[in-house]
Amino acid sequence: MARRKGGRSLSRGIGSRTERRTICVFTEGRLTEPQYITALKSLPGVRDRTSLKIEIVSEHAVPHRLVKLAAQKADEPEVDEVWCVFDIDDHPNLEEARRIAERHGVKVVVSNPCFELWLILHHQDQTASLTTADAERLAQALPGVRDKSIDGAAFVARRREATDRALRLDERHARNGRGSPHDNPSSGFPALLDAIEDSAGKS
């Protein structure tokens, strides 16, 4: 994503350190999503080169509200990228939220049906469609999950496997002509991982 007009330069003078990029992630989840993103902050390349900030909005906030708050943050000159993480979960005004995000340069990560699908993909393929209740039940049986908390570091260590499985799902939906919100199961988390690790040089 190109730096917005008027934003900071990504480099300083000769002999000085490269400026850290600031990526702000808005999420409706209070525990699992922030725990996962916090684990990403601890990756060696990320912690040295990226300022990854998490903004937690009230649980089950509709995407429309989440995106509007993110759009305000996107106007701040010290912020390089803003992302919203939310579940489809039968939320209203989803397409309107996407349009607002696009207008303001906010990127969205949508899980269909919910974030737990992304967790499942760290350990196994999931090609059949799921309800939110199904996904939550399957996630509870995964290593590193306890009630509504996760061992973020354990999941992040398997992020490449999850990414491969999510991308294969995307390819399958594309072949079948099934776009959002009809792409259950699917997860947009690989795009956020790319943004975070690209800014850190994927070290």
For 54, half-sphere exposure in the C-beta direction (CA atoms, 13 angstrom radius) is 18
Kindly state the percentage of the chain with pLDDT values over 90.
67
Two tokens at 122?
A: 């760290």
Query: Residues 22, 79: contact at Cβ < 8 Å?
Result: yes
Q: What is the mean pLDDT of the chain?
A: 87
Question: How far lies 119's CA from each of 124, 126, 128, in Å?
Answer: 9, 11, 15
* pLDDT tens per residue across span 160-188: 999 999 999 999 999 999 998 899 999 99
Question: How far lies 189's CA from each of 18, 42, 45, in Å?
Answer: 26, 17, 19
CA 33 – CA 27 distance, rounded (Å):
7
* Length of the chain, in residues: 203
pLDDT at 18: 58
* pLDDT tens per residue across span 63-117: 888 899 999 999 999 999 999 998 987 677 788 889 999 999 999 999 999 999 9
pLDDT at 181: 87
- 100-103: list long-range contacts, CB under 8 Å, 24+ apart: 100/64, 100/67, 100/68, 100/71, 101/67, 101/70, 101/71, 103/71
CA 109 – CA 90 distance, rounded (Å):
15
Sort residue 112 into left (φ over 0), alpha (ψ -120 to 50) or beta: beta
User: The domain 21-199 is classified under which CATH number: 1.10.287, 1.10.10, 3.40.50, 3.30.70?
Assistant: 3.40.50
